[in-house]
């Protein structure tokens, strides 16, 4: 044998060995009791109060539980709470917990745990802060009951306690809930249907959960976050696969059971595989957002904001951001389409637009003299980048001096905190997107608010909107709330234009057809899911 032949023996042997040990099929087979789920993002933090990241919110729903939860009609239903009473003056609420609730460390869930958990949540969440403004005192009456005394009636108290999206008021043991609200809890001990296995957590790769044998689900059928949370698998593995094509291949090959958010351009890949179901399990979806900087020229001029409103063609934005028309629709309602507060009031410009001629007239009326407009974009966020490119094109065609400044998302969200002029690293417009639980009502939609310096990035000031939102919180019934929501929208579109929705889209999900029981909801829940 020559030296060359000898040299080639080893690599040949390695490959042969690998192929020998490789089974012909079924790399992917994991038992019927293990659900392998590819989440939308990597789990980076285990504290859903410390961060608003959706992936941590979804983690929270597995591990923690809530006092109340919203059902599919956005109505709060009891979850950990068994019964509650309210005084005639609506100022004193008493909540009694269900019997037999236990933390994952085996300790019983007590009313003081819930009080401290609510206090911590109330320091971070916007709706929680609003509730805490009305709260006089919260205290445990006994181990199973706690009371909330209000300084003034807060009709939305149950909605707040059942808040669907970040920050969700998850209950934690007192020792964890005492953690400073601006610091992370050291461990994730909840009372939810699954336990987090911290030892198997590899950030950037895998998070593992096992069924909580002590969990006692409610008897009602699941509906959004409400109803019985029945864990029907013994183990859940979150496999974070950063490359979308690889994630799609893993689902195709059966190495994963469920891919939460495949990008639209990869959805056709699954069409040829009869074992995969592509579905929309989020009934409402998301809004694309165009946000102005209200405190710096040129968009401190409402005429110019109105001009941009008249340039927006939602079909272009949705085509760029969401692709296939079956996954998006035009929607001018600031509180979303298909939600209780959907309305067309005041939205004529968007509904009948675009109107470039009117936009040009408004640009002239605004006295625009070619001031630079800095449009921020993030190339690592396709939905953001798609919208930004459409805006760039529309504004340039209208004769505006736009400069696209692209970076990564981390840089964009840092830059948008700047209140400086554009020549000092400031900005004029950025895009983002937000999911229905975060815009479906004036209680959660922070983009519409006009509280100036305290408002969301862009800092619009509109005292009338603020007054209307305050009135909305105090509205006695749904009809009054709907009327006020419509008034807020009219004010927003006609006087302030805090932002422009660029359309409403859903992100499809893909799963293997042996999964059953997936809950239709704007948040992904993994209870009730069965692997046949």
Residues 61 to 90: which contact another protein by CB under 8 A?
none
- Candidate ranges 95-103, 219-227, 316-324, 408-416; the one touching another protein (CB under 8 A): 408-416
241 part of the interface to another protein, by CB under 8 A: yes
Q: Is 77 helix (H, G, I), strand (E, B) or coil?
A: strand
404 part of the interface to another protein, by CB under 8 A: no
In contact, 434 and 286? CB cutoff 8 Å: yes
- Candidate ranges 100-108, 177-185, 474-482, 516-524; the one touching another protein (CB under 8 A): 177-185
Of 166 and 310, nearer to another protein (C-beta) is: 166
What x-and-dash track marks residues 349-388 binding another protein by CB under 8 A? -------------------------------x--------
Cα–Cα distance between 18 and 272 in angstroms, integer?
29
Residue among 453, 385, 403 at smallest CA distance from 298? 403
What x-and-dash track marks residues 128-167 binding another protein by CB under 8 A? --------------------------------------xx
408 part of the interface to another protein, by CB under 8 A: yes
Of 20 and 369, nearer to another protein (C-beta) is: 20
CB neighbour class for 421 (10 Å; exposed up to 12, middle 13-18, buried from 19): middle
Q: Which of 401, 414, 463, 514 binds another protein (CB under 8 A)?
A: 414
Cα–Cα distance between 302 and 492 in angstroms, integer?
11
Q: Which of 51, 261, 300, 495 binds another protein (CB under 8 A)?
A: 51
168 part of the interface to another protein, by CB under 8 A: no
Cα–Cα distance between 369 and 139 in angstroms, integer?
60
Dump the DSSP string for 110-161. -HHHHHHHHHHHHHH-HHHHHHHHHEEEEEESSSSEEEEEESS--TTHHHHH
Residues 475 to 504: which contact another protein by CB under 8 A?
none
Q: Which of 266, 446, 475, 520 binds another protein (CB under 8 A)?
A: 446
Residue 160 main-chain phi, psi, to 5 deg: -65, -45
Q: Give the nearest distance from C-beta 56 to another protein in angstroms.
A: 9
Q: Give the nearest distance from C-beta 348 to another protein in angstroms.
A: 29
Annotate 43-77 with b (16+ C-beta within 10 A) or e (fewer): beebbbbbbbbbbbbbbbbbbbbbbbbbbbebbbb
Of 284 and 362, nearer to another protein (C-beta) is: 284
- Candidate ranges 6-14, 64-72, 105-113, 151-159; the one touching another protein (CB under 8 A): 6-14
- Candidate ranges 9-17, 318-326, 340-348, 350-358; the one touching another protein (CB under 8 A): 9-17
Q: Which two tokens stand for residue 499?
A: 């932002």
Q: Give the nearest distance from C-beta 280 to another protein in angstroms.
A: 23
Q: Which of 75, 94, 175, 206 binds another protein (CB under 8 A)?
A: 206
- Candidate ranges 8-16, 82-90, 189-197, 292-300; the one touching another protein (CB under 8 A): 8-16
Under the phi-then-psi rule, with left for phi > 0, alpha for psi from -120 to 50, and beta for the rest, what region is 346?
left
Of 216 and 249, nearer to another protein (C-beta) is: 249
Q: In what order do the strands lie in the sheet with 429-435?
A: 328-329, 499-505, 286-292, 429-435, 373-378, 402-407
* DSSP for residue 202: B
In contact, 438 and 427? CB cutoff 8 Å: no
Q: In what order do the strands lie in the sheet with 235-239?
A: 194-196, 206-211, 235-239, 34-38, 258-259, 509-512, 276-279
Where does 285-423 show beta strands of DSSP type E? 286-292, 328-329, 373-378, 402-407
Q: Give the nearest distance from C-beta 165 to another protein in angstroms.
A: 10
Of 159 and 316, nearer to another protein (C-beta) is: 159
Q: Which of 20, 213, 219, 479 binds another protein (CB under 8 A)?
A: 20
């Amino acid at each position: 044998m020559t030296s060359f032949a000898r040299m080639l023996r080893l690599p040949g042997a390695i490959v042969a060995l690998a192929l020998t040990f490789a089974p012909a099929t079924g790399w992917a087979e994991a038992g019927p009791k293990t659900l392998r789920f590819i989440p939308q993002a990597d789990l980076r933090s285990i504290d859903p109060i410390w961060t608003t990241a959706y992936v941590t919110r979804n983690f929270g729903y597995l591990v923690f539980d809530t006092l109340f939860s919203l059902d599919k009609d956005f109505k709060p239903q009891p979850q950990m709470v068994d019964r509650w009473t309210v005084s005639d003056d609506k100022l004193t609420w008493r909540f009694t917990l269900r019997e037999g609730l236990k933390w994952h460390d085996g300790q019983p869930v007590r009313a003081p745990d819930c009080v401290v958990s609510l206090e911590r949540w109330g320091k971070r969440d916007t709706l929680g802060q609003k509730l805490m403004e009305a709260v006089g005192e919260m205290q445990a009456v006994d181990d199973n009951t706690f009371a909330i005394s209000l300084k003034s009636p807060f009709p939305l108290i149950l909605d707040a306690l059942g808040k669907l999206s970040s920050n969700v008021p998850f209950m934690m043991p007192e020792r964890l809930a005492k953690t400073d609200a601006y610091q992370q809890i050291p461990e994730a001990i909840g009372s939810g249907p699954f336990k987090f296995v911290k030892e198997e957590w590899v950030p950037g790769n895998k998070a593992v959960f096992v069924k909580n044998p002590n969990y006692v689900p409610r008897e009602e059928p699941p509906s959004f976050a409400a109803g019985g949370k029945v864990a029907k698998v013994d183990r859940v593995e979150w496999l974070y696969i950063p490359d979308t094509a690889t994630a799609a291949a893993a689902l195709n090959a059966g190495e994963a059971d469920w891919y939460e958010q495949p990008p639209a351009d990869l959805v056709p890949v699954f069409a040829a595989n009869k074992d995969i179901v592509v579905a929309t399990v989020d009934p409402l979806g998301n809004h694309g957002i165009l946000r102005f900087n209200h405190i710096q020229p040129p968009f401190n001029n409402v005429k110019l904001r109105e001009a941009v409103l008249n340039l927006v063609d939602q079909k272009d934005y949705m085509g760029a951001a969401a692709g296939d028309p079956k996954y998006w629709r035009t929607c001018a309602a600031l509180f979303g389409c298909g939600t209780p507060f959907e309305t067309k009031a005041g939205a004529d410009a968007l509904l009948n637009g675009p109107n470039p001629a009117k936009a040009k007239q408004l640009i002239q009326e605004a006295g625009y003299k070619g001031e630079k407009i800095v449009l921020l974009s993030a190339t690592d966020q396709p939905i953001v980048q798609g919208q930004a490119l459409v805006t760039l094109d529309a504004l340039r065609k209208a004769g505006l001096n736009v400069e696209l400044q692209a970076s990564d998302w981390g840089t964009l969200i840092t830059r948008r905190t700047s209140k400086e002029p554009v020549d000092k690293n400031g900005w004029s417009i950025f895009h983002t997107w937000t999911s229905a639980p975060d815009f479906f009502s004036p209680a959660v939609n922070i983009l519409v608010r006009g509280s100036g310096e305290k408002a969301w990035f862009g800092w619009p000031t509109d005292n009338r909107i603020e007054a209307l939102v305050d009135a909305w919180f105090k509205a006695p019934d749904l009809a009054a709330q709907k009327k006020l929501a419509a008034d807020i929208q009219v004010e927003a579109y006609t006087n302030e234009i805090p932002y422009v929705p660029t359309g409403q889209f859903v992100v499809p999900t893909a799963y293997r057809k042996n999964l059953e029981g997936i809950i239709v909801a704007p948040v992904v829940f993994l209870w009730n899911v069965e692997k046949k």
